[in-house]
Amino acid sequence: MNEEEDSKPVEIPLTELAAATLRAVIESFVLREGTDYGAEDVSFDRKVADVMRQLERREAVIVFDPETESVGILPVSDFRSR
């Protein structure tokens, strides 16, 4: 593996995370990124559930970025275009 490959973001499969860890990653993402639902008032739990559904449907993926040593969630299209 070369240095460029070492610094590419890596997908973390849902099955590799314990349920509590997965929930913590999603909660952190929702708190950090926020979610725009327009004029509609949406609860934190619903936002977390929405992100979980996106992950389960493979519309989004959990990604570890070795450069920043951080974990995030990206739409699949954004992850694949990297």
List pLDDT tens digits, range 10-26: 999 999 999 999 999 99
Structural domains counted in the chain: 1
pTM tops 0.85: no
Q: What is the CATH number of the domain that holds 29?
A: 1.10.10.610
Tokens of 35: 């979610």
pLDDT (0 to 100) of residue 42: 84
**Residue 38 pLDDT more than 70?**
no
Alpha-helical regions (H) of 1-82: 3-6, 19-33, 44-56, 76-80
Which of 56, 78, 51 shows the shortest CA–CA distance to 65? 78
- List C-alpha distances in Å: 53 to 5, 25, 49, 79: 30, 14, 6, 17
- The domain of 61 spans 3-80
Angle, vertex CA 37, rays to CA 32 and CA 38, nearest 5: 120
